[in-house]
């Protein structure tokens, strides 16, 4: 408790720290709220431009013995107008116009502040404090200025919340319903200028944009609604401002830099640890999805081997998947833990839950194949690989939607039967083409979709489901087929990938 008092309570016995605390609270709140609009409208570069462009206004206000508030706001708004004027009247793009205006205005401000006339009027004000702020030097007058500017900004946002919200997310719709989008744009520029002016004494010209952008960007990673984003950003801005304030007091550091650094630390924390959008969370979800996909692929392969009547062993599964035995064993252990397979006397068998999961995967896969072939017009040889990627995306819910859109098909483009929603799957009545009698008409009902090279070669030769064929000659290596009045010779191995039935 004594350490807490020493760090947080003792500094507040000084009046300058009390004023600094109030200034930090106000600036942290105002900058963060306005910054949310800047982020959703992607105007961060424009905010940077106005922040730098207020510097000549500060210098002119000193020179003319005017409150720097009016000079800074005036040059900030003029810079925003100038950027728009250059963009409309020339082929220069907005980002280039921003770069030209803010660097020119900033250079003008530095030159003015370095002249003898402004130095005399400034009464010894340090240029470093103008550029980078000094919250510990906030006067009562500065505090009043910050409070008035902040009240105007927050009151405007409250009164015009819906209009600014629509204009930020959909300016076309805002214009269509009659909102004065041009006026709203320049109103936002005015609010931005007021916010930057309020931030000058605490974080300075150079770092003002940081307090606008960083808390809002941090909140953007943590929330999905604008009003929530504003509240979270305001809280983060206050925390960063107070942390920087105390750090600058105890360590004798630049107050503006300390505040921005604290805000940057909070951003990096959200960037890494945010529940949905953080880097670590996304990596975890990606790894989990990859592991789930591998498990489902392994389960489906076991189902296919089971349907062929094979006696399932670890070695057989590894051979079918063309992967190392150790990798297959790790995958099988995961399936056992998941309750999808069980082992008995070194043999593998599927549980009812595993069979149900495998059939749902097959159903999703074959519906995606049909959708990609019919609706997306993908080549038949390409739909298998793409469907394999898509089948793991909400298989049950998406499959029902696909089935309705496709009109409840019973077979995929390769002729495989599509399981019903209840998990029933019809037995393929086809017979391998290489065992079909010579000179007996047949109709193709199914093509194996793996390996893809054989499927592509068969499709290129016109061998598709529904095609009538006739074996005119065969030997151990090749089979000659009559197709639509021509003869195609294919390897016997390819013929084993074709299932045929007697034509209706």
Question: Three-class SS string for 257-299?
Answer: HHHHHHHHHHHHHHHHHCCCCCHHHHHHHHHHHHHHHHHHHHH
Based on the structure, what is the number of domains in the chain? Answer: 4
Confidence of residue 155 (pLDDT cuts 50, 70, 90): very high
Confidence of residue 398 (pLDDT cuts 50, 70, 90): confident
Position 129 scores a pLDDT of: 61
Are 351 and 340 contacting, i.e. CB atoms less than 8 angstroms apart? yes
Confidence of residue 157 (pLDDT cuts 50, 70, 90): very high
Confidence of residue 126 (pLDDT cuts 50, 70, 90): low
Residue 416 lies in a domain: no
Q: Do 152 and 252 fall into the same domain? A: yes
Query: Which domain, by its residues, includes 465?
Result: 431-501
Confidence of residue 477 (pLDDT cuts 50, 70, 90): confident
279-334 pLDDT, tens per residue?
A: 888 888 888 888 888 888 888 888 888 877 778 888 888 888 888 888 888 888 88
Residue 339 lies in a domain: yes
- pLDDT of 205 higher than 80: no
- pLDDT of 231 higher than 90: yes
Q: Do 105 and 243 fall into the same domain? A: yes
176 token code pair: 């269509």
User: Residue 26, Cβ neighbours under 10 Å: how many?
Assistant: 23
The rounded percent of the chain whose pLDDT value lies above 90 is 10
Confidence of residue 125 (pLDDT cuts 50, 70, 90): low
Which comes out higher in pLDDT, residue 500 or 398?
A: 500
Position 228 scores a pLDDT of: 92
Q: pTM higher than 0.85, yes or no?
A: no
Which residue is it, tokens 């959909």?
A: 170
Position 396 scores a pLDDT of: 66
Q: Do 117 and 207 fall into the same domain? A: yes
For the stretch 293-316, what's the b/e string if a residue is b when 16 or more beta carbons lie within 10 angstroms of its beta carbon?
A: ebbbbbbbbbbebbeeeeebebeb
- pLDDT of 397 higher than 80: no
Q: Do 471 and 494 fall into the same domain? A: yes
Q: Do 338 and 388 fall into the same domain? A: no
- pLDDT of 455 higher than 90: no
Position 33 scores a pLDDT of: 92
Position 381 scores a pLDDT of: 79
Residue 413 lies in a domain: no
CATH number of the structural domain spanning residue 338: 1.10.10.10
Of the three residues 274, 309, 326, the one that is the final residue of a domain is 274
Of the three residues 226, 242, 274, the one that is the final residue of a domain is 274
Write down the mean pLDDT value for the chain. 84
């Amino acid at each position: 408790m004594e350490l807490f008092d020493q760090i947080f309570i003792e500094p507040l016995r000084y009046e300058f720290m009390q004023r600094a605390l109030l200034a930090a609270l106000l600036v942290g709140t105002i900058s963060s709220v306005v910054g949310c609009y800047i982020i959703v409208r992607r105007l961060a570069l424009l905010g940077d431009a106005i922040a730098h462009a207020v510097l000549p206004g500060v210098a002119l206000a000193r020179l003319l013995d005017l409150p720097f508030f009016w000079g800074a706001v005036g040059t900030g708004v003029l810079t925003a107008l100038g950027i728009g004027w250059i963009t409309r009247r020339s082929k220069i793009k907005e980002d280039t116009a921003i770069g030209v205006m803010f660097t020119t205005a900033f250079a003008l401000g530095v030159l003015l502040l370095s002249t003898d006339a402004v130095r005399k009027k400034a009464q010894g004000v340090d240029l470093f404090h103008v550029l980078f702020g000094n919250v510990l030097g906030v006067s009562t007058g500065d505090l009043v200025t910050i409070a008035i500017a902040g009240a105007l900004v927050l009151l405007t946002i409250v009164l015009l919340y819906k209009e600014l919200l629509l204009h930020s997310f959909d300016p076309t719709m805002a214009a269509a319903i009659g909102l004065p989008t041009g006026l709203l744009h320049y109103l936002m520029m005015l609010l931005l200028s007021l916010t930057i002016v309020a931030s000058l004494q605490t974080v300075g010209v150079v770092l003002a944009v940081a307090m606008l952008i960083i808390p809002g960007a941090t909140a953007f990673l943590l929330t999905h609604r604008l009003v929530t984003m504003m509240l979270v950003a305001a809280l983060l801005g206050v925390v960063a401002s107070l942390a920087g304030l105390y750090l600058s007091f105890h360590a004798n550091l630049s107050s503006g830099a300390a505040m921005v650094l604290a805000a940057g630390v909070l951003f990096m924390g959200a960037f890494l640890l945010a529940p949905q959008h953080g880097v670590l969370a996304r990596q975890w979800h990606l790894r989990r999805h990859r592991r789930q996909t591998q498990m489902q692929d392994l389960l489906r392969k076991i189902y296919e081997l089971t349907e062929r009547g094979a006696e399932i062993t670890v070695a057989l599964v590894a051979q079918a998947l063309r992967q190392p035995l150790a990798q297959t064993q790790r995958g099988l252990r995961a399936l056992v833990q998941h309750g999808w397979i069980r082992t008995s006397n070194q043999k593998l068998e599927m549980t009812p839950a595993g069979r149900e999961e495998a059939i749902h995967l097959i159903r999703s896969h074959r519906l995606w194949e049909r959708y990609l072939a019919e609706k997306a017009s993908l080549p038949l040889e390409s739909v298998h690989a793409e469907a394999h990627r898509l089948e793991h995306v909400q298989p049950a819910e998406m499959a029902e939607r696909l089935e309705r859109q496709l009109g409840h098909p019973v077979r995929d483009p390769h002729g495989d039967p599509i399981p019903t929603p209840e998990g029933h799957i019809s037995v393929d009545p086809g017979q391998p083409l290489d065992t079909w009698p010579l000179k007996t008409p047949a109709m193709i009902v199914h093509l194996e979709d793996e390996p893809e090279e054989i499927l592509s070669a068969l499709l290129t030769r016109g061998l598709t489901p529904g095609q009538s064929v006739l074996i005119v000659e065969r030997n151990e290596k090749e089979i000659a087929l009559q197709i639509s009045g021509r003869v195609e010779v294919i390897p016997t191995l390819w013929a084993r990938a074709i299932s045929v039935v007697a034509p209706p």
